[in-house]
Amino acid sequence: MLDFSSPMHLILIILVIVLLFGGKKIPELMKGIGQGMKEFKKASTLNDEPEKKEPEVKDFEIKVSDKK
């Protein structure tokens, strides 16, 4: 199992990421991840809100008869 508790492991991982993506691509990558998280959070909060429904009004007729 991997143990990331030591600072040396984190430095090694960051070094590998810089070598793979290059220094110029990392800010673009982080920006894309941030935008994706923002959109996901927005979509998940929209689904949590209950839908507002207007009360149902039924039409009915009142018949008046003249029985005098």
* Mean pLDDT, rounded, for 1-17: 80
Whether the per-residue pLDDT at 49 is higher than 60: the answer is no
Whole-number pLDDT of residue 68: 58
Average pLDDT (28-44) is 88
CA angle 24, 6, 12 (to 5 degrees): 30
CA 63 vs. chain centroid, Å, equals 54
Question: Is a pLDDT exceeding 60 seen at residue 1?
Answer: no
